Structure 1
Amino acid sequence: MPRHIVHMSDAAAAALRAALKQLRKELEVPPDFPAPVLAAADAAAAAPRLPDEDATHLPFFTIDPPASKDLDQAMYLERRPGGGFRVHYAIADVAAFVTPGGALDAEAHERVETLYFPDGKVPLHPPAISEGAASLLPDRTVPALLWRHDLDADGRVTHSRVGRALVRSRARLDYAGVQQAIDAGTAEEPVALLRDIGTLREAVEVARGGISVSLPDQEVTLEEGSFRLSYRAALPVEGWNEQISLMTGMAAARMMLDSGTGILRTQKTAEPAVVTRVRAIARVLGIDWPHHVSYADLVRRLDPQDQKHAAFLSEATAMLLKAEYTAFRDHRVPEHTVHAAIAAPYAHCTAPLRRLIDRYTGELCVAACAGQAPPDWVLTALYGLPCDMLRGKGAKADRRSVDLAEAAVLMNRVGQVFEAAVINTDEEANRPREGLLHLADPAVLGRVKAEAALKLGETVRATLRRANPGHPGENKVLFTVP
């Protein structure tokens, strides 16, 4: 699922402080870390389990948003003699700090994942680990899971392996700076190669039938007493960077399938009735989707900066692309192993500072490459991890943050009438008079209740009845139609 990320200016966040606090309360966000967990983090940070291999001679670099401190990934890219590329991809080795069954481990299983809100985050691990000892910050020697991918001249992976090593990042880069340097031709070759490898991997994705969906970030500002909403589309470098992560996730899935034990991120193709409904939503938003064109091909034609396209991508992916975690062991491989959007087997493994399951998949891959059995602590937890991850609140925090932002933008316009399109209805849930509206200006989605059954695709004149960022529950914005 693509993320819809909401950013807020300091002034907007301050004005919405009470609403953001209420949102955390509704989601039952974990409080500050207990003292024993903080003490365990400090002790682990001072005495990690270090690997034998030393790869600190490789000049790794990281690419993240400027304010990020929990840096999961670092890379070093080079050309191979005779053609092709080698990708050195370091992933934070959280298992070097977290003792199975200890206080840090138990707390991580309670939290499951890092939660992101417009005014800050609620981390999976204490900052002493996630933003300190385990983070791939520059000029620090840290333990990592070091992936090495060999690619041919067309960007296809010919060999992948992973093992533990000490690494040292030399530069902490951000997306905008990297994009500017690559476009200007001033980037050093290991950085410039990200464009070459990334675009080749995007072509491989197209040939495979995969889909990469990138929704624009929302930015909320407070100007002259009113909240304003603007959008920022992803830079090309963000897509190239994502391709390195996807490549690693596919390699991890293949390793685990070959070894007979693992946990995949799987996704089945949507039922025909769902596809028919999504095609209807496309028609409502004026998106031409010929029947001979696949969903993957359609997505590549859309412009996320076009708000009708963004609305379609947001709603369509929520309906079509529902993924789950699938665990297996002892070569009892499940019948379905593919992630439909990626069009290949895939595993989450590149964000262990922010997602619980990645610590386990990383360990499984290290064991598989070494020809060893996975550790007992991994096998013991394996079949419970899908249930653990279901308790994660990241997607809900993202969605509720978007609801809050859009309510803030509309809060001074209660009582006004808007022309809007019905882009979904709750008819399948036996609520034909309820559904979802898309407004053109401002470009937001809102819940609607009508006196008569709603028709998918119709244009209605809807009265804004509620736009309250602090309203409990999901429906912070509500319209009615006579």
Structure 2
Amino acid sequence: MTVTWPLNQDPAAEREQQTYTHPVPSREYILVALQQAGKPLTHKQLCTGFGLEAPEAIEALRRRLMAMCRDAQLLRTRRKAFGLIEQMHLIRGRVQAHKEGYGFVLPMDSQGRIAPKQERQDYYLSPYEMQRLFDGDEVLIQDKSPHYNSRGRQEARVVEIVARHTQKLVGHYYQKETFGEVVPDHPRLRHTVLIPAGASLDALDGQVVEIKLHRQPDFQQAPMGEVIQVLGHAMDPGLEIQMALRTYDIPHTFSPEVLAQAASFAQNVPDQITDGRIDLRDLPLVTIDGEDAKDFDDAVYCQRQPSGSWKLYVAIADVSHYVEMDSPLDKEAYQRGTSVYFPGQVVPMLPEALSNGLCSLNPQQNRYALVCEMNISARGNLSRYRFYRALIRSHARLTYTQVGALLTEPDSASAQDFRQAYPKLVKPLQALHALYQILRTGREARGAIDFETQETRIVFGEARKIERIIPVERNDAHKLIEECMLCANVAAARFLIKHKIPGLYRVHEGPKAQKLEGLKGFLAELGLTLGGGEQPSPQDYQALMARISERPDREIIQSMVLRSLSQAVYSPENEGHFGLAYPAYAHFTSPIRRYPDLLVHRAIGSVLDSQRASAHVLRGENQPVKAQHLSYPYDFETLLVLGEHVSMAERRADEATRDVEDWLKCEYLSAYIGESFPGTVTTVTGFGLFVRLDAIYVEGLIHISNLPADYYEFKADKQRLVGEHTRRSFRLGDHLQVRVANVNLEERKIDFDLVQNPLSTRTRRPAKTPIASKTPTPKTPRRANKTTNKPTPSETPAQKHTQAASAEEIQYPLLIDILAAADTPPVKKKKKKRLGKNERARLKAEKAAEATKAQEVHKPKASKKKKPKKKKAEAKKSCKKKTKKAP
């Protein structure tokens, strides 16, 4: 037997010998072998090439080959040969389904990572291909010989389904004659799942169930499964959260092993100082949080220095002391990635024994903390910082309402009660407030973008029914805590860079060209501009925010500005934070609820535990010493995968939270069907207007078919819909009176009807003559209409916007009234494309030729008209004359 690839030349031979009794080629060596072979090889051919004879080694290679196919490293052909995906011109990707039935393939690299949207090319999947796929499935598609559908659109063809993503799902159960059906709750899961008789757990028609799939979808058959849990009826209190947890695959139950480890720690932190900690129990640190907060990550204290600078202490719960690497707690925290905050309920990243107990900085209790001690200059600059482990004791659990009243309403009854209850805390809090004002000045000078968005809170009554939705007011207490956390996060990022430790940064990139162009077009309609040209800086955005601060439509403008920016992510590659205008930024202050913060704590702790000299750490007595690579074994590649995972977990939590809020708002508004409310247009699309009700902060859709009868053109750059006949204009910020028409709980949709339609106050071109009018009016060329719609050189867009609309309301009656008086409905005119001179001449010639041909074809019909009759009479006379002359 000729051995082509001897096992002693395997680069990972030593590793494989430690794992297997009988030597087996490593994955790396198999890939090299297939690369050198230049063609797919069967299992038997590979065994011969590697020189495998022992049955155990042959079986081990077969299993390894199948595992490599599962991981999309290899592809098994129909002839049972194994080949390299790259050489077979295939692309591996993840399916992203759309609620309308089609989908896309998002390409993945060899590590299973998906590139950012602006850096990749997605591949379209037709509804036909999606018949056998679920959202999230991993597939292989053809790279060459693309397929085009009947409309000429390029479509991807799935060659192989590598991995199935959906094994369980949640939906509504419906009983048929001999079987059941489950309609998935997730909008991207379009397949109805069949439930055989006897596999429904006696679920009732319309109940919400969780099912396990036994058969995946295919071209010839629907997916099939069994009910594993009946969750209840749609209107049961709290059911919306149970559905979201399962729909978005959020881990929500702790294993006995994890709970046992959390319970194994002593319930009280001893008074003895150990592990090189600094005793800060006498320092009057306090926590400031919301009234309903249960886990307290951070405590703060500030004092003014004789030099005019400030010393700021930010003490953060030392979660890394309890959650060690690769422990059951750590693995569970990694899977969750973040705590999920639903209205009225929290799904914590850590068991409550830690999140609300040992790790929470509860008042008057010893707690371990990682402290960031900072010096802030009189101008608000972070001049020095150092990190150390400490034993602290929070002196009070304060709320934003209490502290806000003390700082901004010192003469109020609440402030007087606070002074009596906490006399020793008044001065440190006043120092914090003074520091906050300096930091705010520095924030403005730095150019950080300051968004003042309106947050809301759902207030529940009995049986978890919404009583009302109220706005959340942010006072100075909220803002000073935010500034303190920003300082500590910046110090953590600088620490990582200074000590050259690979870590996770919070990265926020600047706006992309396409979104920036759309934003500028929208701003131009309002007479506003964004500085900075094609690459605006944070200072340019902040200048825009300052200019709109007093405008009544500032919230709408802020919304558009936010949409133009990218979403922040976690990455080991520091690219700065555009929105905050920081060259480096990391998350350090919330390790109880965010896994990236825990990783940053471990990075800082690895320097503290080493003997490395640094001016940015403080070590106490009996400081343990550990090798840095052992206490922090993360490299760049590992952190890249970690960053993608925790970014995904963050998005997953946001989507689940929005889903639950949408459900609750739909349930709340279902009691008001038929009632009218004032609202504001928050989004304009080609299919209608999204309107937010002013009083209750709930958003719904006025579909374009429910607008006054007309053909509407969507102007994306101007964010408005314009009627073709009436020239009625709907745009962002318009105030409308709407009626609640329909509420769909299953799809989380609210439909509005338009009750009152105040016209947009923009100048429009002159109205066309009503269709019912009998007086003919010469048509005005469209080009002339466009010209008259433009402002005069002396008229700015802002001036144009402020013109009165009362006269136009008289000139433009509703088209539905016009149609009522008309004999025939109007025909939608297609927008003509401007043609060149040669093209117009060619079309004119073709039209003339077609007219001549039509006359010849329809010659008998033309005999009824006057002109043909004359020709016929003349022909008869000619015949008579000829007849007379004949012999």
TM-score range normalised by the length of the shorter chain: 0.7 to 0.9
The question of whether the paired residues in 1 share the 8 Å contact of 2:530 and 2:541 is answered with: no
The 2-side partners of 1:236 and 1:197 are apart by 12
Counterpart for residue 467 of structure 1: 743
The 1-side partners of 2:540 and 2:569 are apart by 23
Counterpart for residue 447 of structure 2: 209
Counterpart for residue 359 of structure 1: 598
- For residues 249-398 of structure 1, what are the structure 2 equivalents within 5 Å? 249-260=489-500, 261-279=502-520, 289-292=528-531, 294-300=540-546, 309-314=554-559, 316-327=561-572, 334=573, 337-344=575-582, 345-368=584-607, 371=612, 373=628, 375-379=630-634, 381-392=638-649, 393-398=652-657
From 43, 49, 52, give the equivalent of 2:276.
52
The 1-side partners of 2:702 and 2:541 are apart by 28
SS, match of residue 364 in structure 1: helix
- For residues 152-231 of structure 1, what are the structure 2 equivalents within 5 Å? 152-183=377-408, 184=410, 186=419, 188-221=426-459, 228-231=468-471
Counterpart for residue 330 of structure 1: none
In structure 1, give the amino acid aligned to 2:510: T
The question of whether the paired residues in 2 share the 8 Å contact of 1:253 and 1:347 is answered with: yes
In structure 2, give the amino acid aligned to 1:346: Y
In structure 1, give the amino acid aligned to 2:662: D
Change (3 A) 1:259 1:308: same
The question of whether the paired residues in 1 share the 8 Å contact of 2:288 and 2:299 is answered with: yes
Displacement of 1:415 in angstroms is 5.6
From 233, 243, 247, give the equivalent of 2:483.
243
The question of whether the paired residues in 2 share the 8 Å contact of 1:45 and 1:128 is answered with: no
The question of whether the paired residues in 1 share the 8 Å contact of 2:466 and 2:664 is answered with: no
Change (3 A) 1:390 1:16: same
Change (3 A) 1:416 1:65: closer
Deviating more after overlay: 400-409 vs 382-391: 400-409
CA distances 1:48-76 after superposition (whole Å, capped 9, x unpaired):
89532222221211101123221100111
The 1-side partners of 2:742 and 2:274 are apart by 56
SS, match of residue 124 in structure 1: coil
Structure 2: give runs of 5+ residues left out of the alignment. Answer: 1-234, 412-418, 420-424, 532-538, 614-627, 706-711, 722-729, 755-815, 817-887
Deviating more after overlay: 339-348 vs 359-368: 359-368
In structure 2, give the amino acid aligned to 1:412: A
Displacement of 1:204 in angstroms is 0.7
In structure 2, give the amino acid aligned to 1:324: V
With the length of structure 2 as denominator, give the TM-score of the two structures. 0.46
The question of whether the paired residues in 1 share the 8 Å contact of 2:302 and 2:432 is answered with: yes
**Number of equivalenced pairs:** 451
Larger radius of gyration: 2
Deviating more after overlay: 415-424 vs 397-406: 415-424
Change (3 A) 1:227 1:414: same
Identity between Structure 1 and Structure 2 (%): 24
Structure 1: give runs of 5+ residues left out of the alignment. Answer: 1-13, 328-333, 427-431
With the length of structure 1 as denominator, give the TM-score of the two structures. 0.82
From 716, 720, 723, give the equivalent of 1:457.
720
The 1-side partners of 2:553 and 2:746 are apart by 26
Change (3 A) 1:250 1:447: farther
SS, match of residue 155 in structure 1: coil
Change (3 A) 1:289 1:173: farther
Change (3 A) 1:188 1:419: closer
CA distances 1:126-152 after superposition (whole Å, capped 9, x unpaired):
011011011111111111111100111
Change (3 A) 1:140 1:59: same
In structure 2, give the amino acid aligned to 1:350: T
The 2-side partners of 1:362 and 1:226 are apart by 39
In structure 1, give the amino acid aligned to 2:258: V
Structure ranking higher on relative contact order (CA contacts 8 Å, 6+ apart): 1
The 2-side partners of 1:417 and 1:280 are apart by 33
The question of whether the paired residues in 2 share the 8 Å contact of 1:447 and 1:477 is answered with: yes
Change (3 A) 1:402 1:234: farther
The 2-side partners of 1:289 and 1:368 are apart by 50
CA distances 1:228-261 after superposition (whole Å, capped 9, x unpaired):
4331221121011100001111111112122222
The question of whether the paired residues in 1 share the 8 Å contact of 2:301 and 2:432 is answered with: no
Change (3 A) 1:197 1:413: same
The question of whether the paired residues in 1 share the 8 Å contact of 2:268 and 2:358 is answered with: no
The question of whether the paired residues in 2 share the 8 Å contact of 1:124 and 1:354 is answered with: yes
Counterpart for residue 400 of structure 1: 659
Change (3 A) 1:358 1:310: same
The 2-side partners of 1:457 and 1:421 are apart by 13
From 362, 367, 377, give the equivalent of 1:142.
367
Change (3 A) 1:282 1:438: farther
The 2-side partners of 1:387 and 1:47 are apart by 36
